[in-house]
Amino acid sequence: MAPTEMRGFRRHLMATLHEYEGYLKQFEGKLLVLRGKVEKAGGEAAGQLGQGLAELEREAEAIKGAGLDALERLGHAVEVARTGLERAKGQLGGDESAPARVVSKGREVVRKATIEAKALRHGVKVGLRVARRVSRRVKVQPK
């Protein structure tokens, strides 16, 4: 799976999780409101609301069960991801400092390219050493 596909998958997973969380919060809110109405109602109305409340509580158990199943599968996915990461670390020789070196080399390349670009903007086609001198001179001189 390409890195962009992984980011898309990660984004989709988080969006689905947040959507489920939102529905769960809304459902809990509606359930609390209905419980409050049952407590305030009296007589026949309380009986009807009580039946509706019992039905919604069964629905809540179904929602909770589906969430628990998803959590169990997500736990399995975490284990698979952890195993894959350990395998990747093993293939790379466990060298954790490699990404830091790549970043520092990238910064150096960007710095050198910036210096050369400044010199080129002022009409100088030369190596890095002369480009640095020219870029410094150009900074000092007011335009």
Side chain identity at 63, as an amino acid letter?
I
Q: Flag whether pLDDT at 98 surpasses 60.
A: no
What HEC string does 17-80 produce? HHHHHHHHHHHHHHHHHHHHHHHHCCCHHHHHHHHHHHHHHHHHHHHHHHHHHHHHHHHHHHHH
Residue 2: its H or E element: none
My answer on whether 46 and 68 are in the same domain is yes
Burial class (CB in 10 A: 0-12, 13-18, 19+), 41: middle
My answer on whether 124 and 84 are in the same domain is no
Q: Flag whether pLDDT at 71 surpasses 70.
A: yes
Number of domains in the chain: 2
My answer on whether 25 and 86 are in the same domain is yes
Q: Flag whether pLDDT at 141 surpasses 60.
A: no
My answer on whether 1 and 53 are in the same domain is yes
My answer on whether 2 and 55 are in the same domain is yes
My answer on whether 46 and 92 are in the same domain is yes
Q: Which domain holds residue 140?
A: 97-143
Q: Flag whether pLDDT at 73 surpasses 80.
A: yes
My answer on whether 107 and 132 are in the same domain is yes
My answer on whether 124 and 68 are in the same domain is no
My answer on whether 88 and 34 are in the same domain is yes
Angle of helix 128-140 relative to helix 98-121, nearest 10 degrees, comes to 60
Sign of CA dihedral 24, 29, 35, 37: negative
My answer on whether 122 and 85 are in the same domain is no
Confidence of residue 138 (pLDDT cuts 50, 70, 90): low
Mean pLDDT over all residues of the chain? 79
Report which of residues 22 and 110 the model is more confident about. 22
My answer on whether 121 and 103 are in the same domain is yes
Q: What is the DSSP letter of 130?
A: H
pTM (predicted TM-score): 0.53
List of residues 6+ apart from 131 with CB closer than 8 A:
115, 116, 118, 119, 120, 124
Integer Cα distance of 89 and 117 in angstroms: 38
* 3-class secondary structure, 92: coil
Q: What is the mean pLDDT of residues 71-97?
A: 83
